[in-house]
Structure 1
Amino acid sequence: MSIISKYDRFSRVYDLMETPMELVRYGKWRKEVFSGLKGRVLEVGVGTGKNIPYYPDDCEVIGIDISAKMLSHAKKRAAGKKNTSLLVMDAEHMGFVDDCFDYVITTFVLCSIPDPVSALTEMKRVCKPEGSVINLEHMRSSNRAIAFVEDLFNPITASITGVNINRETVENIRKAGLRRIEERKLAMKDVFRLIRSKP
């Protein structure tokens, strides 16, 4: 089953599935990450639009997702927000010109994109030289015990939901040619991290 089919299928229950983490951690992280943004922002993998309420009103936000059914839920969250546009688009092949966004953002998305390095390379391309790429993600831990569990369960999560819980996201960012300027460990040792990079 393709990643599009999987996310189309889960679109109705996606928010419900993440409710516990949203209440305990995700909402707090989203508020912190988005509060200081300004200018033109691209959110890659906007999904059901959970980040939309956290963007400052003076941002111009463009959200893309490969699943039209996920976007149908995001459109409800974006209703009445004149600064937000939503488009069906593949993160690995974006239809934007070079150097056109002040910020490019993902939250818990790089785990499910089939080729994350290609997507990150595209993010670098569309981000202005003075801009920032911000990735709030979960990834493979450097802790051997946690990484063992992630590797053990990854075939199951990847098969059912399309989510890879053992992605080497820091290495993928490096492979894409992005220059890390900040890396913060947020939870579960270093599974959840906030990474800011420059093109």
Structure 2
Amino acid sequence: MKTDLDRTTVEEAYARWAPIYDVVFGAVFEPGRKAAMKVAEGIGGRILEFGVGTGFALPAYKRTNRIVGVDISEPMLQKARERVAKDKLPHVEGLCLMDGAHMGFADASFDVVIAQFVITVVPHPEETLDEMARVLRPGGELILVNHLGAEDGPRASFERWFARRARKLGWRPEFQFARLANWAVRNGTVDTPIKRDVALGMYTMVRFRKRTQAEIAAAVEPVALAG
């Protein structure tokens, strides 16, 4: 079974969703969005809103934060630009069309990277997570909120069956937490992820803290000595 989405599929899917996205998903995603934003604003500073979409969440951020939004879909970004102009949002520094696996920001550019209902729809999740970690400053946090696939049981079986059909909609219903945990180990610059259910278990919030260089070195040294 095809496991990754291609960029064309994602762009076409979200071009179709752009005109109705807020109406269809705004209220559905609101509890998960609020939970993730509360954590992000507890850290504060310069925040990368990855997969900003139509900019639905932008007005809710405190004006003391600085927000940069990126998305792969130009039609979604156009909606976000219209929202920023209409609502006069001075805390939004910029909205950028970017492939998440190849972002044009310098290392350690952000205090927080937040991705709401995005990681299961990007074409290359692991490469995208690598980029999120790269642009995050040491000590900062990467915060994901998403529906994640069941590990076993009837729901897991259904999600695997539905996966091929869901590709046409631009998402992966079978994407599991284990994939995120495995990425963290391979990447080596973030702590073991912390997860918790939000919105009565409808969604999962996953938090990764970016390690400092001293912490990375300390983690590597025992492995080197053992070798």
Q: Can you give the 5+ residue segments of structure 2 that lack an aligned partner in the other structure?
A: 1-7, 211-227
Residue 46 (structure 2) aligns with: 40
If each structure's helix is expressed as a fraction of its own residues, which one has the higher value? 2
Residue 113 (structure 1) aligns with: 122
The answer as to whether partners of 1:60 and 1:83 remain within 8 angstroms in 2 is yes
Shift in Å at residue 20 of structure 1?
4.8
Go from structure 1 to structure 2 and tell me whether the alpha carbon gap of 1:27 and 1:110 turns closer, same or farther (over 3 Å shift): closer
- Report runs of 4+ in structure 1 exceeding 6 Å deviation: none
Q: Distance in 2 between matches of 1:31 and 1:125?
A: 21
How many residue pairs were aligned? 196
Q: Is 1:64 the equivalent of 2:76? A: no
The letter for the 2-side match of 1:185 is: D
Residue 179 (structure 2) aligns with: 171
Counterpart mapping for 1:19-30 below 5 A? 19-22=26-29, 25-26=31-32, 28-29=34-35
Shift in Å at residue 67 of structure 1?
0.6
TM-score of the aligned structures, taking structure 2 as reference length: 0.78
Among candidates 91, 94, 97, match of residue 83 of structure 1: 91
Go from structure 1 to structure 2 and tell me whether the alpha carbon gap of 1:187 and 1:141 turns closer, same or farther (over 3 Å shift): farther
Q: Is 1:186 the equivalent of 2:198? A: yes
The answer as to whether partners of 1:182 and 1:197 remain within 8 angstroms in 2 is yes
Higher Cα Rg, which structure: 2
Shift in Å at residue 172 of structure 1?
2.9
Go from structure 1 to structure 2 and tell me whether the alpha carbon gap of 1:35 and 1:166 turns closer, same or farther (over 3 Å shift): same
Residue 159 (structure 2) aligns with: 150
| Larger relative contact order (Cα-Cα within 8 Å, sequence gap ≥ 6) | 2
Shift in Å at residue 180 of structure 1?
3.2
Q: Distance in 2 between matches of 1:120 and 1:13?
A: 28
If each structure's strand is expressed as a fraction of its own residues, which one has the higher value? 1
The answer as to whether partners of 2:149 and 2:173 remain within 8 angstroms in 1 is yes
Shift in Å at residue 35 of structure 1?
4.3
The letter for the 1-side match of 2:191 is: R
SS state of the match for residue 63, structure 2? coil
Percent of paired sites with the same residue? 31
Q: Supply the RMSD in Å over aligned alpha carbons.
A: 2.1
Residue 13 (structure 2) aligns with: 6
Residue 22 (structure 2) aligns with: 15
Residue 5 (structure 2) aligns with: none
The answer as to whether partners of 1:101 and 1:127 remain within 8 angstroms in 2 is yes
SS state of the match for residue 195, structure 1? strand
The letter for the 2-side match of 1:65 is: D
Q: Can you give the 5+ residue segments of structure 1 that lack an aligned partner in the other structure?
A: none
TM-score of the aligned structures, taking structure 1 as reference length: 0.88
